[in-house]
Amino acid sequence: MGERAEIRTPPATVTPVQILLERAEIVQVVDSVADAIDAHEWSYLRSLFMDEVEVDHASLNGGETSIVKANVLVGEWRKTLTGFDATQHVVTNHAVRISKDAATCSAYVNATHYLPNYMGSDSWTSGSRTDYGLVRTRQGWKVRSTRLDMLWAEGNRQLFGLAQRRFEEGLTGETDVW
């Protein structure tokens, strides 16, 4: 998939402290994905991914697993999520597995999207289990895959269309030049 991971080789003997540091780095990357989305830091968000990402969000949007350019993925999120007045993605219960230069981090994500409107509820909230695949690079851990399994959702799903229209009409006050 696109960008070649330049491996940052771990020491031959890995200590428990090193394992905890690696786990902390991986959790930080996963949490940073949510933080960057909510802060509309699109350039930073892009830096957290490999050039190509395997994406399976079928339980949210339908479709099938696909390999997409990270620029395209972040650009689509930007078009949809910038139009909300606020979003909050809370990531919890990280389960990390590390195998040499690859890792997985499974976590629960509670995502709230807020946009006052005339079409019903002002929010849409969902709970999911998201699996992140990561690879170790010279720049640190980067996301190479995401798989989202929706567990529940409530509220006004039509907000996504309204938010995207706000973005397209330039009504968002977007400041991060992408």
| Per-residue model confidence as pLDDT tens digits over 128-153 | 999 999 999 999 999 999 999 999 99
Q: How far apart are CA 45 and CA 30, in angstroms?
A: 10
Closest CA to 128 of 56, 66, 75: 56
| Per-residue pLDDT, 170 | 82
> Does residue 5 surpass a pLDDT of 80?
no
Sorting pLDDT into bands at 50, 70 and 90, what band is 94?
Answer: very high
> Does residue 7 surpass a pLDDT of 60?
no
Sorting pLDDT into bands at 50, 70 and 90, what band is 11?
Answer: low
Q: How far apart are CA 41 and CA 33, in angstroms?
A: 10
Sorting pLDDT into bands at 50, 70 and 90, what band is 9?
Answer: low
Q: Domains plus CATH for the chain?
A: 16-168 (3.10.450.50)
Q: How far apart are CA 106 and CA 131, in angstroms?
A: 4
Residue bearing the bigger pLDDT, 51 or 172: 51
| Per-residue pLDDT, 107 | 98
| Per-residue pLDDT, 141 | 97
Per-residue pLDDT, averaged over 86-112, amounts to: 97
> Does residue 4 surpass a pLDDT of 90?
no
Query: Which residue in the block uniquely carries the two structure tokens 């957290």?
Result: 48
From the number of C-beta atoms within 10 Å of its C-beta (0-12, 13-18, 19+), residue 112 rates as: middle
